[in-house]
Amino acid sequence: MTRMKTHPERHRVARIGWLRAAVLGANDGLVSTASLVAGVAAADGARSAVLIAGVAGLAAGAMSMAAGEYVSVSSQSDTEKADLARETAELATDREAEVEELAGIYAARGLEPELAREVALQLMAKDALGAHARDELGISEISTARPIQAALTSAVTFAAGAALPLLVAGFAPEAAILSWVVAITLVGLAGLGVLGAKAGGAPLARSAGRVLFWGALAMGVTAAIGRLFGTVVV
């Protein structure tokens, strides 16, 4: 009997759980902190004021991202657990109806009714709940919600992204903090867009372009507001 040859495959969808939180956290940390620094620099210009605002923004943003991701993903996890509990009860009380339901799903995908029922019976004999979770509810090991992972990833990547404009503000000439922060942040955003595109398999130019656009818009708006209020106060 000949054995089927297999080859290892690594799909990018397996990264989706942490990739989304990582890209969102780093991008948010870089854009929000750079925008905050740009606004304060445009209004005041003093390095001490810029750094105090930036550090406060980093700490508050990292905690906010962690809390937001944890609450959001926990809600998803609670919903998944509730659906699985309901499916477990249905399998215990009316297994035949669940067989027909799963067979109907496979038939709708193109299998002959008899084959669809046979596939449903064999899959349910091995792991009934797993089969229904995957094919009826769309819940799999890859997509399962992980609140702690999402929260930690968001907090760490936000802080990493926020550190770049703070370092620039700390070492740039005081009179040129605004221009240095904007320039280096745009470079960082382009790099982040390319990194996210490569990790997710998306087009590089489009990913970098949309990150640059929204980052430049955010910094431009906050710098304009800072300049306006700084002029009014003076």
Could you tell me what percentage of the chain is helix, strand and coil, using 3-state DSSP and rounding each to the nearest 5? 85, 0, 15
How far is Cα 133 from Cα 83, in angstroms, rounded to an integer? 9
Cα–Cα distances (Å) from 152 to 24, 56, 65, 149, 200, in that order, read 12, 19, 9, 5, 20
How far is Cα 119 from Cα 112, in angstroms, rounded to an integer? 10
Sign of the CA dihedral running 38, 43, 49, 53: negative
CB 139 within 8 A of CB 83: yes
Q: What is the DSSP letter of 110?
A: T
Give the pLDDT confidence score for residue 218 in this predicted structure.
86
Query: How would residue 13 be classed by pLDDT, with cut points 50, 70 and 90?
Result: very low
Express each pLDDT in 134-161 by its tens digit. Answer: 888 877 765 566 788 888 888 898 999 9
How far is Cα 231 from Cα 218, in angstroms, rounded to an integer? 20
How far is Cα 8 from Cα 156, in angstroms, rounded to an integer? 31
Segment 1-20 shows an average pLDDT of 51
Cα–Cα distances (Å) from 132 to 23, 82, 83, 221, in that order, read 31, 14, 10, 49
The share of the chain scoring above pLDDT 90, in percent, equals 14
Poorest-pLDDT segment among 24-38, 46-60, 71-85, 129-143 = 129-143
Give the pLDDT confidence score for residue 59 in this predicted structure.
92
How far is Cα 33 from Cα 57, in angstroms, rounded to an integer? 6
Give the pLDDT confidence score for residue 233 in this predicted structure.
39
Write down the residue that tokens 């800072």 correspond to.
226
Poorest-pLDDT segment among 10-14, 15-19, 141-145, 175-179 = 10-14
Segment 210-230 shows an average pLDDT of 83
